[in-house]
Chains A and B, each alone.
Chain A
Amino acid sequence: MAVVTFDRVSKYFHRHAGQMLLRDRVRHLLQPSPPERFYALRGVSFAVEHGESLGIVGSNGAGKSTLLNVATGVSLPSEGTVAVQGRLAALLELGSGFHPDLTGAENVRINAALLGLSRAKVRRRFDGIVEFSGIGDFIDEPLRTYSAGMMMRLAFSVAINVEPDVLIVDEVLGVGDQNFFAKCFEKILEFRRAGRTILCVSHALETLENLCERGLWLDRGQVVKAGPIGEVIQAYQETPAAALQGTATGQ
């Protein structure tokens, strides 16, 4: 049974969607211009089975983050269907959802609630989260006194302790020291052994290769190659970006 299924999913943005002032609205009303679409994803199909982990590679702007956002449901696909079973947990982007004026403990509770934990579960898991993060006494200090690494450790600790059915890791493993990285890595592998699903985006190809069994290579919103992670990464590394120009824009 597939946990995450994308069926011919496209996501486009209108180029003028960013202009949100009344002035722009009125001008647009007076001089209607045809909507210019920018495709962030185009006809993407894949399925991730129960217990599988999928690593997504691609250059900047290839649509990796858009794909994850469509999977979590914060963004709707423009075309096609997305089906997800179970509880997803995104590893929040570094610092998002965190507030610098609140203490680490307060931020942990807010973040856990955001990721869907109930009061009873937060109470039960709170000590585990703090212990895993290794933040120690700093947990009662305001977050603005934390280093980037400490913040990432806290964010990771919360997300992994939510025990989601699908864990989404978006490029956050880059921060943090070697020790903590090893700890996270071990935790993710344990998570995988428990038969849960992982979607992972990273430019650290070696990490991806160790973490995932399947790979998906995106370029300009389209799937270039899907298959076993080793093959996908090899193809990705061997192909210079310029060689793709024709295939991606030609369709």
Chain B
Amino acid sequence: MGDCTVSILPDGMALDVLPIMWHGDSLYLLENLILKDFRIRYRNMSLGVLWSLLNPLVMMGVLTFVFTKIFSNPGTQNFPVFVLCGLVPFSFFSIAWITGTTSIVDNTSLVKRVPLPREIVPIASVFSNCIHLLVQILLLLCAVLLFGRGVNRQWIWLPVVWALEVVFVCGMVLITATLNVYIRDTRYIVESANTVLFWLVPIFYSFDKIPARYKEVYQLNPVAALVLCLRHILLQAEAPPTSTLVRLTLVSLAALATGLLVFRHGKPGFYEHI
């Protein structure tokens, strides 16, 4: 039995911590919230998880048509797999970011009624998207095998780079979910940012085409860095470049740290603002 006291600072500012009156099992709760999101999304769909496959397949078809038949692209072999290496990480990032951004506002009843650790809400929404991601990664790996690229030992890097993307998304989501409580327009800004990102992540063009002076900046975007790593691993059977890995790791961890800080600072005011 813990003793929980909320103290008030002399100038009337409340400390930015909520009393921990919730002594529950955070992991079990996280698991339940992830499954809840996942079940709700699929219960009313006849095709279920197949919907996760349909979107990247259609996009892959369209982009392949445009960039092999309309704009010729002689430098790139196996364009469908090439483009899928870009689409899978990008679509996960954009969907997870949007749903995570609105997660606090969407779960008003939980945030206002249950003294749970509130970080769990956006994190659970990211992880429930990871279930779709797993299906899409399987699709990507199947496509790689289908186009004649075998399994190679660099595949051991795959869990590492995917995990780093999840860390990055969690950080971004914690930041924007907090902002979205105070300024409801945040979600529209996030949506626009995703549209811009579609062009700035090397999805349908290769990293080699980017002029040298932009390359450094490009690699600072973890989504672009992940696409780059995936192509190295899956298409060229090479280990991802160390400099890219280092940047990916640093930026992802920095995003998570910032996210936790922003969220921690913002959450005492959630009750009043949603």
Contact = CB atoms under 8 A, between A and B. Distances in A.
Contact of B4 (A20, A73, A97): A73
B183 A97 contact: no
B14 A78 contact: yes
Interface of A: 13-14, 17-18, 20-22, 25, 69, 72-88, 90, 92-93, 96-97, 99, 101-102, 106, 109-110, 113-119, 122, 142, 165
Closest 9 CB pairs of A and B: A116-B24, A96-B109, A73-B21, A118-B25, A73-B115, A22-B185, A75-B271, A113-B29, A113-B32
A99 B115 contact: no
A79 B268 CA distance: 14
Contact of A102 (B5, B8, B40, B181): B40
Interface in B36-51: 36, 39-40, 43-44
A109 to B, nearest CB: 6
Given A17-B273, A88-B115, A101-B43, A116 B23 contact: yes
Interface string B1-24: 111111110001010001111111
Nearest to A93: B113
Contact of A109 (B32, B44, B113, B268): B32
A129 B24 CA distance: 18
Given A17-B272, A119-B25, A74 B8 contact: no
Contacts of A13: 272
- Is the interface on chain B under 10, 10 to 19, 20 to 34, or 35 or more residues? 35 or more
Contacts of B4: 73, 83-85
Contact of A101 (B18, B25, B44, B109): B44
A85 B3 contact: yes
Contacts of B29: 113-114
B8 A88 contact: no
Contact of A22 (B7, B14, B183): B183
Contacts, number: 136
Interface of B: 1-8, 12, 14, 18-25, 28-29, 31-33, 35-36, 39-40, 43-44, 109-116, 181-185, 268, 271-273
B217 to A, nearest CB: 28
A193 to B, nearest CB: 20
A22 B110 CA distance: 25
18 contacts: A22-B184, A69-B113, A72-B21, A73-B115, A76-B14, A79-B8, A82-B6, A82-B19, A83-B5, A85-B2, A87-B23, A101-B40, A102-B40, A113-B24, A113-B32, A118-B24, A118-B25, A122-B28
Nearest to B181: A20
Contacts of B115: 72-74, 88
Nearest to A68: B113
Contacts of A82: 5-6, 19
Given A92-B114, A109-B32, A85 B1 contact: yes
Q: Which residue of A80, A84, A99, A106 has the most chain B CB atoms within 10 A of its CB atom?
A: A84
Contacts of B8: 77, 79-81
A165 B1 CA distance: 9
Nearest to B267: A76
A140 to B, nearest CB: 13
A114 B3 CA distance: 20
Nearest to A22: B185
A142 B115 CA distance: 26
Contacts of B109: 93, 96-97
B127 to A, nearest CB: 15
B215 to A, nearest CB: 35
Contact of B18 (A18, A73, A115): A73
Contacts of A72: 21, 114-115
Nearest to B41: A101
Contacts of A90: 113-114
A83 B185 contact: no
B113 A119 contact: no
Contacts of B114: 72, 74, 90, 92, 97, 114-115
A1 to B, nearest CB: 10
Contacts of A109: 32
Contacts of B116: 114
Contact of B19 (A22, A84, A99, A114): A84
A78 B44 CA distance: 43
B36 A21 contact: no
A102 B7 contact: no
Given A73-B22, A76-B18, A20 B182 contact: yes
Contacts of B5: 81-83
Contacts of A84: 4, 19, 21
B45 to A, nearest CB: 11
A4 to B, nearest CB: 10
A154 to B, nearest CB: 16
A142 B40 CA distance: 11
